[in-house]
Structure 1
Amino acid sequence: MVEFHLLGPAELRDESGELVQSFLSGPKRLALLVYLTLDRPRGFKRRDSLLPLFWPNLGQKSARNALSNMLYQIRKALGNEIIINRGKEEIEVGSIWCDVTAFEEARKKEEYKRALELYRSNLLEGFHVPDASPEFGQWLDLERRRVQRGYREVLEKLAQQAEKRGDPEAAAKWWYKYIAEDPYDSRATRRLMEALVAADKRPEAIRIAENHAGLLKKEFGASATEKTEKLTGGLEKAAAKFKDRRETSQPGDLNTRTIAVLPFETLDSNGEIKPLATGIHNDLLTKLSNISALTVIARNSVLRYRGTEASVAKVARELVVGTIVEGTVQQARNRVRLNVQLTDTRNEQLLWAETYERELTAENLFQIQSELAEKVTDTLQAQLTPEEKKRIQEKPTENLEAYHMYVQGQTHLAHRTERGINRALKYFQRAVEIDSSYALAWAGIAESLVLLKFYEYPLPENTPDAMEAVRHALELDPELGEAHASLGILHASLQEGPEAIRELEQAIKFQPGYAEAHAWLGWTYMITGRLKEALKPAERAAELDPRAPYTRVYLGKTYLADGQYEKGLYEAKSARQMQPEFTLNHYMEGLALYHLDRFSEALLAMKEAQSLVRSKGTPAETEILAILALNYIASDNPTKAEKLLPKINKMEDWFSSGLVHAALGEDKDTFKAFNKIKNWGYFSTALFRYFFPKLLEPIRDDARSRQIIQQINEDWGLNC
């Protein structure tokens, strides 16, 4: 079926899934297909009703010829079935899937998470057809506003659900998104403030009130002081409702298709079966994450419950899941027993429980996992596509020892330390020595090498080539999501933007619940100048893996790039609380605080980052020094900032140097430094494109920046 994506930049794919780029180059042709797809009431349209909309300046005969020619072009590009005739005068669009109609259906069915996934951005934002009639432009504006209202309704419903279950953090998240769409809505602003106070963030709530009051004063001349007082009155009393609801509410609004698969416990005391239990748990997560109808919380976020006695209600509340899968594993000689149960967290009702006992072979283990995945899917009435059914039935290896090596590798890889990644690499290499056709193990080798490069850890001697390993994995299994993700990350590390995006999109196509692929796709979209598209995958990654610091800090940086500073600060703080020893989390918190003009707090965060910085890695010490300097300048202490410049220049970090010169008002030295940059990497590209509006907006608007933008695009493969 033809796929038509209109929420955000237009995207059209034919029945084979290939992009039809040439079709999108004609705005009137695109506009006609949009109108036939979306105009209400849906169904057949008379040809003579289309003529004045799209060819207002042509006579009847010429306009009819133009319409016939355009319909011919549409059929030629997308197939004859795309346009259906009824008689000679009526036409309608045929077999086509459109994200706008899918969004509307999901909203009406109250499938709000699905609706959010579909809503990449506003309907055809910035789209214009120069010689169409004004009536078409008015129609498109009305459609755009109608869909935007639907999006705000989804956000409000999710916020209300969070309020009902007494979850102020989640409520604040959705109200933040709502007021980003409608910043003048005082009612939504007040609800956001109540959620923030309930989450012990009263200063943040007061700043929201002051910013909102200032906005209303600027736009409508309202009294800022009076409005602030009205917004802040009785906040604590209103916020207390969250505590009351948390204690008394039943989580009936949780989505049962959002699942947490808790770590499987072992019933043997000697610990030898623990790797097997870990492997079964990991593989079940992977199989379920292949299913687009399910949202499966990633491994990092569920591991914290291993060995705990957390209640169903606690897990449901913390991970916002409607279903929990639990299991135990026991081995007796050459047999394995797996006890599994599925629980509806809304009422803590046991949906089913089963025992699987088989001879311990690789084939039997994978068969159990496939049966489990299908059982979960059937119970939750989630429909499997033929491709998804095929994926969950696959058996990646027939060798049990190779499987054990792969499981050990995955366990060590999750640590992301130099020692952990190197140990993982050895296990993956051992796995392919045992079974050279084990595609997942080849993908593991590639991912290990990519991560060693990304974190700037030294490569061990005699390591294989990462590109060669990942291509071998894809030769063995062209639809392996992990391999496409590794290849995408490898392209990103080589600053090959379009290639990285292509592979990461493929990874998500084959494994929709792969949090890391979503995180990297959002990051790469942002780096390559596609900021609005970056928000959705970044948010999806954090939803799939909410307890992984990397998803939260990447999301925080994306929010900061988009000018959503309070939300960026919230995500950076969340990442820092989860992983206080990680330099990047403190750096991002300091960066957010700087953009909020909270300079004394930003200085503290940056000094903490400086105390944790490594000789290699992200961020570099000079990048931290630059933000320290900016805070000194903003705090009327430029002398202290100037003392940091020699060290920054000595390390030849010319972006950081130029940034400090910009803060000092030295534009000539800013461009001099920027023009010394030989390669625009991750940090410098993102910061130059989106950050520091007060400092860099005049620089970005300067004609001399055109050459810089051209170099950035060339460095990321965008001018090829």
Structure 2
Amino acid sequence: MVEFRVLGALNLLGADGRELTSVLAQPKRVALLAYLAAATPHRLHRRDSLVALFWPELDQEHARAALRQALHGLRRALGEGVVVSRGDEDIGLDADQIRCDVVEFERAVDAGRPADALDLYRGDLLEGFFMRGSPEFEQWLEDERVRLKVMALRSATLLAERGGLAESAQWGRRALRIAPLDEPTLRRLMQSLDRLGDRAGALDAYEGFAKRLAVELEADPAPETRALAGAVRERVATLSSNATELAPLQTAAEPPEAAGVPHPRRRWLGVAAAAFGLAVVAAAVSLRAREPAPLNAKRVLVVPFANRTGDSTLDPLANLAADWITRGLALTGVLEIADPGAMVLGGRTGGANRPRQAGHEAADARALSLASGSGLAVWGSMYRRDHRIEFAAQITDEASGRILHTLEPVLGDPQEPRPALAILRERIMAALAAAVDSRLGALASTGGQPPRYDAYLAFSTGVETLYPGRDARAALPYFQRAVALDSTYALPLIWAAWAHSGTALDQCDSTALIARRLASMHLTRLEQMQIDRVMARCRGDLAAAYALGRALTEAVPHSELMWEQFARDALDFDRPREAVTILERLHPDSGALDGRAGYYNWLTNAYHLLGEHDRELEAAQRAQRRFPRNLATLRMELLALAGLGHGREVKERLDEINALPPDPIRLPAPVMREIALDLAAHGDSAAARTVLGRLLAWHASRPAAEQAEESQRFERAQTYYAAGHADSARVLTEPLHRAHPQSEQYAGLLGVLAAQRGDRAEAARFDRLLVALERPLGRGQATYWRACIAALLGERDTAVDLLARALDAGYVYQVRFLNAHVEPSFAALREYARFQALLRPKG
């Protein structure tokens, strides 16, 4: 029998016991064999699905030929009868002819033989294996690694709980090797070692974990874990042999210090696990004044449960209860959801709707219902009952002011609240079915299980980290941790997709991989619309993104965050007037938009595109008053002044830039360069030269290590180009291009410099390279650089045509039309009628 080992070290032995190196030397054949052997459910696979998985870059004819060749090689190496087929289309393996350790591992787990299963689990599936050019296979492999790791961890945990102290420590160490960043596993091991008298071993385990967490996630262990280590170290508490596991993480893990999130902002952490994006109900978008909306008998508001336990660390549990109920209602499609919790990207969680005073829950629920036009409200409180949590909930008809139903209290374990939350949601949906729509009764148990609480906490921390300043780099580890803790939890994946593509990271390839993974999950309608919108933006299909943005406002008409999101879609779709109309009706200093400087960014950008710089300045000064020590808002004000021709005032205020704290998105050098380019675009070339000179001096004053950073070198090269120092720009850019020949921006700038000095042959060479570098999710970046080259060569029509193509492909830099407005390569086009017509706002 052929022996195929893919858990840990890869090995393939023929029926005679010899290693089949002819297969192991071919990564594509290894991957194909692993998929046929390990993919679940175990069955035959269609040829069409295999060619799409392994040869997506080839057309059907060539992909099928590649598959035939790979299968021929496998048959020849493995022997007759191992690879089997049914008809012309179905391919698989004969389980009687090949033994795969993944299959044996799963059988052992299913049969309740955890020790046998762990003997087979020697590491991750295809550990260290990587194959380029097959993103669908890479995603399958990643998903399977997580699934099998979870099975192995459960087996080790089960053995640790069954055995005595020595066995518990033995299997606890194995569990920690399987999941080296799982804190409950670490705590169980530390307790076992401490009870055995091995305090040094317990502390060694803690120190090793803390180092791994710092290196891999730039985070510290949870407070409970640090407290346990302190107890072991100081002997403040002695763990008896019958001590129970410490309570799991009850508050969001401390985010990395690099995240720069001020602690006072953390008070609003909360509901972020429902439909998609954080829509707050307290605003009627159609009016500037907050007038009560008509009550809709089919619209329901779920208010975050009031935490009456006296323990503020349980606030996230109260939020999770509301999120889980909301998501269940959203999945049915029977009732309209007033506040879809974490369904709206980029906003705060439903904690903004938390009842403020004990004993005023009903009044608070009614006020929020009136503001959102919700005819139904679900609200309640959470109490401590001995060692358990009690959820008490009511459903009220807000039109009549009467209670429709008071639910029987539901008791749950704060360490594992999922069973209680599932019961709570089912009872609420059953009560709504009896009172409002019977269809809810049949759908009450759909939608799976709530997320793991520790996964929800990690996700909530990611939301909190991302919310104030859109610091995606700091937030992503929390979303990744949430998914690692609970692979069925879709919401962190959705937020991660947005963080990769909708922020300064601009990593649409990562977003596309996540979207493919989400395709197999059960999403709410709002969640699906949001991920579709994110992918439309990645593809550069801004018309589709605009249409989806409008549809989302229709689905949740009282969400100011959803309207703000749509305003951005309108702005990128070259409809700044529409964006202004939307934004000026919102309430940026209260409710859902409170604390969001981004609102003012979209508003000032829209006014700038419209040439209404007086109103732009007014909005920027409002932003400055609201966020006085913020580089993003100072940038808004200086750009408005540049547009008004106040170059002298701009120069006088440049020093304010360096006096401000770091910003995750706006950096001093790009801000100063943008201001200089805007001054030049508005005719003040003298002020622009002064600002560029100041900026070059700023670059020269930076520490050597900072100057050596790749991003700083390219930023400095762009500044040299804008200042007219082409040779200096070229000296900085050429090494970057040699190191990264696939980079559109490095090739683009070198092409622009060649065109500027009149080297048409060199400019043409880079133009051809940029054609080759254009990629499906590149959003027109290579084409934009080609437009710059054509403009500098005096090819005006070609430049305008290429720029139009880049914009149609979704070219986005800040706001896409603003970049073309100030681009120094287009200086000679600014009086050209076709160029002016292209940049003229369309709505």
Under TM normalisation by the shorter chain, which class is it?
Answer: 0.3 to 0.5
TM-score with structure 2 length normalisation? Answer: 0.40
- Which has the greater radius of gyration? 2
Q: Indicate the structure whose relative CO is greater, using CA pairs within 8 Å and at least 6 residues apart.
A: 2
TM-score, normalised to structure 1, is 0.46
